Amino acid sequence: MLLAVWLLAGCAMLSDAIKLQEYELGGDTIATVNAVVGERNVTGVSTSQSGESITKTYTYESSSVTEDLTAYLTKLVNSDGFIAIEADIDLEIVPGVAKVAAESPSDPGKIIIMQIDYTDTGYTVDITRMSGTLNTY
């Protein structure tokens, strides 16, 4: 009985994640992949905390990984104040990792780091909100 309740709760959480338009961490919101590229299948959702750092992880399946991430990262960098942590993000190299970061709009002294690990069939978006500042050179 307990397993059935857990499975139903897990299915409901994934169903809600597919419709999610914003990731929320503390007082910050960030447009989701689905808000930018349309509905993609969400196969996993988790949250962890270590001290003041909060990480949310969303796992997606997609048949258009390169196109999805190009559109999503372009929005983050051009419209939402994120900067690339690594100088060259090459989404044509599969598997790969893309990392971007931004200062928290709601809490000075906090930063948001987004790491996207991708393969040819999907991607995992890890979003961490933690104490820190960004230095650009």
Measured CA distances, 95 to 55, 74, 133 (Å): 22, 19, 29
- 112, 128 contact by CB (below 8 A): yes
DSSP string, 62-102: -S-HHHHHHHHHHHHHHHS--EESSS---TTSSSEEEEEEE
pLDDT in tens, 41-66: 999 999 999 988 999 999 999 999 99
State the pLDDT at residue 86: 78
pTM above 0.95, yes or no: no
Q: Identity (one letter) of the amino acid at 32?
A: T
Q: What is the pLDDT of residues 71-119, one digit of tens each?
A: 999 999 999 999 999 777 888 889 999 999 999 999 889 999 999 999 9
Reading the block at residue 4, the tokens are 């059935």
